[in-house]
A = this chain, B = another copy of it.
Amino acid sequence: MLTLEFIREAHARIAPHVHRTPVMSSRAFNRAAGREVWFKCENFQRAGSFKMRGATNKILALGAGERARGVTAFSSGNHAQAVALAARDAGTRAIIVMPEDAPRSKVAATREYGAEVVFYDRQRDDRERVSRDLAERTGFVLVPPYDDYHVMAGQGTCALELLEEVRDLEAIVTPCGGGGLFAGASTAAQGISAGIRCFGVEPETGDDTRQSFLTGERVTIPPPPTIADGARVQSPGALTFPFVQRNAEDVLTVSDAELVEALKFLLFRLKILVEPTGALGVAAALFNKLPANIRRIGVVISGGNVDADALARLVQ
């Protein structure tokens, strides 16, 4: 079960293998946002996102026998690269299942970390089925992208570090895709600081978690067209959603245009590269989506993996 204690254990386990990422702040940003904001910069994490924390925790928590066989994951995004690198760190093999039309740069990055990539046909095959079959055939352990307590605990370790560094935060804001980061970070934050207010942020067109939060049950939406590719999830996770219900004060949304503005502010003023999904919380702070009485906010910047063509399009 996901508790502060379980997240602290995760932190002790993964600390030698992940970066303690910097916490940044900017007078210019605070002026623009009208509050004090601290950024936990997981774009500087190994493999470029917070996903490295959860993948590392999951793999290191396996029994020696399981770990020795290898791991598998289905993802064409940051989770793929994280599982590949965490597996290499742990001295084991990884097979990553990706759609045939995955961006070449993502395939290349995953292979660069030493993983084998297996393709499936997005039209013909069921992704989860392909992965499960593979896991059964090979005996490799599946590392889920969010619906797993070890994965959620690993993701939550970034909030431990943030709250250790910045005292008296009144709120913590994270991007919300499948909900693993929100579940872990909000559990860690509220375990340390009982009254802290927690917010997840989604793209406007991908508001499955917001709809679920408002109706009280997991809603499934069509594939969302947002530029925030890490939040193109169609429903919150079965294991993560209860933490959204319990810990979230609200689930906020931002438009793609607001995401681009936030990304550009971070790039040209703070000089850091953040991917659109990574800027969800930043956009919520910049465009004043949070209750007015919150003055001191911690925002998790979840990742920084953007390729050159996408970046050129985004900034112009």
Residues of B within 8 A of A306 (CB): 268
Q: Are A271 and B272 in contact (CB under 8 A)?
A: yes
**Is A22 positioned at the interface, with any CB of B under 8 Å from its CB?**
yes
Could you tell me the distance in whole angstroms from the C-beta of A316 to the nearest C-beta in chain B?
5
Chain B residues with Cβ below 8 Å from A264 are 308
Residue in contact with A273 in the complex, picked from B271, B309, B316, CB distance below 8 Å: B271
Interface positions, chain A 247-274, Cβ under 8 Å from B, are 264, 267-268, 270-274
> Closest Cβ of chain B: how far from A314's Cβ, in Å?
9
Whether a CB of chain B sits under 8 angstroms from the CB of A48 is: yes
**Which of B270, B271, B304, B309 meets A316, CB within 8 Å?**
B309
Distance A307 CA – B312 CA, assembled complex (angstroms): 12
In angstroms, how far is the closest chain B Cβ from the Cβ of A13? Answer: 21
For A316, the chain B residues whose CB sits under 8 A away are 308-309, 312
Number of copies: 2
- Tell me the smallest distance from the CB of A265 to a CB of chain B, in Å: 12
> A315 and B304: CB pair below 8 A?
no
Q: How far, in whole Å, are A274 and B264 apart by their CA atoms in the complex?
A: 14
Find residues 35-69 in chain A having any chain B CB closer than 8 Å to their own CB: 43-44, 48
User: CA separation between A157 and B306, bound complex, in Å?
Assistant: 34
CB within 8 Å of B: which of A273-309? 273-274, 304, 306-309
CB of A18 closer than 8 Å to a CB of B: no
How many interface residues does A have (CB within 8 Å)? 21
The reply to whether A304 and B271 form a contact with Cβ atoms under 8 Å apart is yes
Which residues on the B side are within 8 Å of A44 (C-beta)?
Answer: 270-271
Contact A308 B268 (CB under 8 A): yes
A311 beta carbon closer than 8 Å to chain B: yes
Complex Cα gap A40–B79 (Å): 31
Are B271 and A48 in touch, CB under 8 angstroms? Answer: yes
Report the minimal beta-carbon distance from A230 to chain B, rounded to whole angstroms: 15
Residues of B within 8 A of A308 (CB): 264, 268, 315-316
A22-B22, A273-B273 known; A268+B307 contact, CB < 8 A: yes
Shortest Cβ distance from A107 into chain B, in angstroms? 16
Q: What B residues does A270 contact at CB under 8 A?
A: 44
B contact residues around A309 at 8 Å (CB): 316
In the assembled complex, 25 residue pairs joining A and B whose CB atoms fall closer than 8 Å, in A order, are A22-B22, A43-B271, A44-B270, A44-B271, A48-B271, A264-B308, A267-B273, A267-B311, A268-B273, A268-B306, A268-B307, A268-B308, A271-B272, A271-B273, A271-B274, A271-B304, A272-B272, A272-B273, A273-B273, A308-B315, A309-B316, A311-B311, A311-B312, A311-B315, A312-B316
Other A-B contacts than A267-B273, A272-B273, 6 sampled, CB-CB below 8 A, are: A22-B22, A44-B271, A267-B311, A268-B306, A268-B307, A308-B315
